[in-house]
Amino acid sequence: MESVRTLLEEKGHDVWSIAPEGTAYDALRLMAEKKIGAVVVVDGEKPVGVFSERDYARGIVLKEGISRSTPVKEFMSDGVFFVQPDQSVDECMSLMTDKHLRHLPVMEGDRLVGMISISDVVRAVISKKDLKMRHLHNQIVGYDSFHRM
């Protein structure tokens, strides 16, 4: 069973963040620069939200008077869901599906140690299933060859 820790070892522990008072414009610029879909909104070192491209797109439709100086806290998803490094990829998939999440911060104790996306989780699930299918195929082929002798 693959864990979040394994995912982070493969993809890295980089976490891009912004303060709640930072501007949505600055967050979007950071996301474009780093080629990521979301940043963690942190107050000091405590995650208080996630800001994604989707949050901004929805916010633009619902709010009037948006400017380059509008704070990210106006758009962020608050009530942060997070996972821990020892949780399984399957647990992450369930949480992300149930709560309609695309990004999950990873916390180890009080420390933010990474961020995983739905793409990371789907890739791991597919990889696990491919490995299982190859293993089953090899068992069937091996079994068939053994009984033909």
pTM of the predicted protein model: 0.81
| HEC secondary structure over 12-78 | CCCCCEECCCCEHHHHHHHHHHHCCCEEEEEECCEEEEEEEHHHHHHHHHHCCCCCCCCEHHHCCEE
Q: Mean per-residue pLDDT for 35-63?
A: 90
Question: The CATH number of the domain where 134 resides is what?
Answer: 3.10.580.10
The pLDDT assigned to 131 comes to: 63
Mean pLDDT estimate for the chain: 88
The pLDDT assigned to 30 comes to: 97
Q: Which domain holds residue 87?
A: 4-148
The pLDDT assigned to 1 comes to: 63
* Total domains in the fold of the chain: 1
- Percentage of residues in the chain with pLDDT exceeding 90? 67
